Amino acid sequence: MGILEVNGVNKRFGGLQALNNVNLSVEENTVHAIIGPNGAGKSTLLNCLIGKLAPDTGSVTFDGKSVLGRKPHEINQMGISRVFQTPEIFGDLTVLENVIIPCFAKRDGSFRLHALESVEDEAGIGERAERMLADVNMLDKRDMHAASLSRGDKRRLEMAMCLVQEPRLLLLDEPTAGMARADTNNTIELLKEIKASRDITMAIIEHDMHVVFSLAERITVLAQGTPLVEDIPANIKGHPKVQEAYLGQAHS
Amino acid sequence: MLGLNKTDTKFLLIVIFLTLATPILLQPFAENSGLAQFNAGYPDLMQRFAIYGIFAIGFNLLFGLTGYLSFGHAAFLGVGSYSAVWMLKLLSMNVLPGILLAMVVSGLFALVIGFISLRRSGIYFSILTLAFAQMSFNLAYSVLTPLTNGETGLQLSLTDPRILDAANTSGSLPVTNLFGAAMSESYKLEFLNRVFTFNVGYYFCAILAIIAFYISLRIFRSPFGLMLRAVKSNQQRMNYTGLAARPYTLAAFVISGMYAGLAGGLLASMDPLAGAERMQWTASGEVVIMTILGGAGTLMGPVLGAGFIKYLENIFSKINEHVLHGWFSWLPDGLQDLVVWIAARFTGEGWHLTLGLMFMLVVIFLPGGLMEGGQRIGKLFRRGREDVPDDGTGNRPKPAPHVAE
Ligand SMILES: Nc1ncnc2c1ncn2[C@@H]1O[C@H](COP(=O)(O)OP(=O)(O)OP(=O)(O)O)[C@@H](O)[C@H]1O
Ligand SMILES: [Mg+2]
């Protein structure tokens, strides 16, 4: 059994069947890529995993426990973090503060009234956040307003915010979109390092095949809400169904 | 010192100094000069500076940090006043029990109102808080008259039990005090043709205001304060980071309600009287204006806003047609009448018109309030002094503005 199990999930938006009987099993400590043309339902699937959307039918379990019916912050506290397709960061705060917040969430849980302590004096938190920023090459931008970052930097910041929580399952929704080639390669290296240095499972959505084939150990192809194939990367490349799904999309 | 870093300690010491020196600083004009009417060192006015300062500091903890705009904070001010007057009637003329009860009761009120109102955000939250405050206001006039004494307002009377105090045989109402020191007591000092009034009530309010400011400073610098700013910035991201926003906003709402209760308790301690009008929506609006005018989300802004409004209110309401005629006597008769007529619309009773105009100007030209104005002026001076060309700093990353000063 995988650490993440999705069974028979359906999600309908009005007349649109966004997810159609989706089954997915992600093995612990693997990198699992989900690919598919635009509008295939990839982001919708992630939304159903983190409590942003409730599927119409089906079950989603993480580490044997159902995530359905739980609030987003409870699901995160179970060990699932997500990088969004459009960066979700604290735009009004500094880059460093953006990374400090998840450190507190990790240490103190979903709520703690620490109103008279000073952020500066919290043992280890600032250092930990700075180390994380150094890992994503953003330490020089620590005092910048997060909203004033470039799109690629916002994405790297969001990744740092998720990684610093040391999640068991990291969901990445197009983590390198909007990044320059060099930054994309850095991101691949970073994710590889993270993967090698600790126990972590990753589910990654990506259009950039270079990223997919550099990282993924298994790939699921999703088209029009339905999983077409699931296999190891080598078998996906030349798969006729995949060609059809992508080429059909590309020529339309 | 006191859990603050160097900059904040210096900042706090300056605030303490300014607060304690207020009776001197606000009396800059000689007694017999024409400008004496612009002095503000009178006990009741200085008390109001401190009390409304506390009110605004507390309001800012909610609005400035989380962005939740409460339009019903006057309810807590009113509840605080009623609680304090009841303690003055039942227990003792010592103001401490009343102030403590004011904070406890307003805190409980805030817990209930916040618990319900915080289920919504944005304009719906504002409307809910407004509705609760207006409900409290109406209840005070109707069902709750045994507690509030309706339109007359809650007052002291000679027959009050005051079980902790010695029997009052003087035949006149006792005065509020702190362990025997009467709030109305003042020490006057004449110096350089100026009269400085050091009033017990003011110093009592001032010390509480300093403590209130200090706690607000600590909250701004705390992980809790950071979470509140996170709520304002991106609640979604907060949830997906494993944090529950609601307990944080509720805690902020209760703390801010207790600040308002403290302010209400102090109002009653300085002048033992509580009326329902203190809870009316105009009073809620006033603290919103104070905070925005001064600079929401900054530490000093709300205090400045409160002082600014209370000072101008005092000055402008004193100016009547008689005074205006004196000022414009140098104009020819017909023109003088016209100018006085126009000016009178903006002064005396018409002072709210001036306040409204000022508020509009600030919101349009200085969205960050008076604090932003101060910073801009400061920057101008610094630029004037340094001869560094501007583009020298152009490619360095722009540091985020600190939520401070
Ligand atoms: N909240 C929503 N309400 C209505 N329709 C939605 C909603 N979210 C997604 N959809 C629709 O569901 C379909 C799947 O969307 P989804 O965002 O999951 O696609 P995707 O695979 O992530 O595509 P992309 O690669 O472009 O990000 C799309 O047609 C989209 O318009
Ligand atoms: Mg998507």
Tens digits of residue pLDDT in A210-237: 999 999 999 999 999 999 999 998 888 8
What CA–CA distance (Å, rounded) separates B303 from B311? 12
**Closest Cα partner for A208 from A185, A235, A240, A236?**
A185
User: Which residue's CA lies nearest to atom 25 of ligand 1?
Assistant: A38
- Domain assignment present for residue B383? The answer is no
User: Which residue's CA lies nearest to atom 24 of ligand 1?
Assistant: A38
pLDDT at A250: 47
**Mean model confidence pLDDT for chain A:** 92
Which domains are seen in chain A, by residue range? 1-79+167-252 (3.40.50.300), 93-165 (no CATH)
Inter-chain CB proximity B239 and A71 less than 8 Å: yes
Number of domains chain B is built from: 1
**B59 to each of B53, B54, B212, how far by Cα in Å?**
10, 9, 12
Inter-chain CB proximity A118 and B243 less than 8 Å: no
Q: Which residue of B has its CA nearest to A158?
A: B237
Residues 134-163 of A with CB under 8 A from B: 140-141, 143-145, 148, 161
Mutant choice from A70, A71, A92, A172 vs B, greatest count of B C-beta within 10 A: A92
Which of B234, B241, B401 lies at the smallest CB-CB distance from A105? B241
pLDDT at B321: 81
What CA–CA distance (Å, rounded) separates B11 from B178? 29
Q: Which residue of B has its CA nearest to A148?
A: B398
Which helix (DSSP H) or strand (DSSP E) does residue B339 occupy?
A: helix B333-346
Q: Which residue has the tokens 């990506």?
A: A206
What CA–CA distance (Å, rounded) separates B386 from B240? 46
Cβ proximity of A23 and A61 under 8 Å: no
pLDDT at A212: 94
> Three-state secondary structure along chain A?
CCCEEEEEEEEEECCEEEEEEEEEEECCCCEEEEECCCCCCHHHHHHHHCCCCCCCEEEEEECCEECCCCCHHHHHHHCEEEECCCCCCCCCCEHHHHHHHHHHHHHHCCCCCCCCCCHHHCCCHHHHHHHHHHHCCCHHHCCEEHHHCCHHHHHHHHHHHHHCCCCCEEEEECCCCCCCHHHHHHHHHHHHHHHHHCCCEEEEECCCHHHHHHHCCEEEEEECCEEEEEECHHHHHCCHHHHHHHHHHHHC
β-bridge partners, B182: B177
Contacts of A160 in chain B (CB under 8 A): none
User: Which residue's CA lies nearest to atom 28 of ligand 1?
Assistant: A39
pLDDT at B316: 87
Inter-chain CB proximity B224 and A109 less than 8 Å: no
Contacts of B237 in chain A (CB under 8 A): 88-90
pLDDT at B397: 40
Q: In chain A, what percentage of residues exceed pLDDT 90?
A: 79
CA of A44 to the centre of ligand 2 (A): 7
Q: Which residue of B has its CA nearest to A73?
A: B242
Q: Is A42 in the pocket of ligand 1 (CB under 6 A)?
A: yes
Which of B221, B243, B399 lies at the smallest CB-CB distance from A118? B221
User: Which residue's CA lies nearest to atom 18 of ligand 1?
Assistant: A41
Q: Is A225 in the pocket of ligand 1 (CB under 6 A)?
A: no
**Atom of ligand 1 lying closest to residue A85 CA:** 27
β-bridge partners, A158: none
What CA–CA distance (Å, rounded) separates B34 from B25? 18
pLDDT at B394: 36
Enclosing domain of residue B185: 6-281
- Domain assignment present for residue B309? The answer is no
Coil, strand or helix at B229: helix
CA of A50 to the centre of ligand 1 (A): 16
Q: For chain B, 405 residues long, give each residue's pLDDT as a single digit of tens.
A: 678 889 999 999 999 999 999 999 998 998 888 788 888 889 999 999 999 999 999 999 999 999 999 999 999 999 999 999 999 999 999 999 999 999 999 999 999 999 999 999 999 999 999 999 999 999 999 899 889 998 889 999 988 888 888 888 888 899 999 999 999 999 999 988 889 999 999 999 999 999 999 999 999 999 999 999 999 999 999 999 999 999 999 999 999 999 999 999 999 999 999 999 999 999 999 999 999 999 999 999 999 999 999 999 998 888 888 888 888 888 888 888 888 888 888 888 888 898 899 899 998 999 899 999 998 998 888 876 654 444 333 333 444 444 444
Counting ligands in written order, the one closest to the CA of A18 is 1
pLDDT digits (tens, 9 = 90+) for A144-182: 999 999 988 999 999 999 999 999 999 999 999 888 899
Inter-chain CB proximity B255 and A115 less than 8 Å: yes
Q: Which residue of A has its CA nearest to B231?
A: A90
pLDDT < 50 stretches in chain A: 250-252
Q: Is A2 in the pocket of ligand 1 (CB under 6 A)?
A: no
**Atom of ligand 1 lying closest to residue A42 CA:** 21
- Domain assignment present for residue B405? The answer is no
b (16+ CB within 10 A) / e for A158-170? bbbbbbbbebbbb
What CA–CA distance (Å, rounded) separates A185 from A206? 14
ipTM of the complex: 0.93
Inter-chain CB proximity B237 and A113 less than 8 Å: no
- Domain assignment present for residue B380? The answer is no
pLDDT at A33: 96
Question: What count of other Cβ atoms lies within 10 Å of the Cβ of residue B63?
Answer: 24
What CA–CA distance (Å, rounded) separates B303 from B113? 25
User: Which residue's CA lies nearest to atom 4 of ligand 1?
Assistant: A13
Nearest-Cα distance to chain B for A244, in Å, is 36
pLDDT at B396: 38
Inter-chain CB proximity A93 and B230 less than 8 Å: yes
Which of A72, A94, A141 lies at the smallest CB-CB distance from B239? A72
Q: Is A13 in the pocket of ligand 1 (CB under 6 A)?
A: yes
- Domain assignment present for residue B136? The answer is yes
- Residue A47: what are its φ and ψ, rounded to 5°? -60, -35
Inter-chain CB proximity A100 and B237 less than 8 Å: no
Residue A68 sits at the chain B interface (C-beta within 8 Å): no
What CA–CA distance (Å, rounded) separates B78 from B279? 5
- For B191, half-sphere exposure in the C-beta direction (CA atoms, 13 angstrom radius) is 9
Q: Is A43 in the pocket of ligand 1 (CB under 6 A)?
A: yes
- Domain assignment present for residue B101? The answer is yes
Max CA distance (Å), chain A: 62
CA of A85 to the centre of ligand 2 (A): 6
Strand bridging mode A218-223 / A31-35: parallel
**Residue B251's CATH number:** 1.10.3470
What CA–CA distance (Å, rounded) separates B196 from B189? 5
- Domain assignment present for residue B209? The answer is yes
β-bridge partners, A166: none
- Domain assignment present for residue B124? The answer is yes
Residue A88 sits at the chain B interface (C-beta within 8 Å): yes
pLDDT at A196: 93
Residue A252 sits at the chain B interface (C-beta within 8 Å): no
Residue B224 sits at the chain A interface (C-beta within 8 Å): yes
Residue B142 sits at the chain A interface (C-beta within 8 Å): no
Q: Is A81 in the pocket of ligand 1 (CB under 6 A)?
A: no
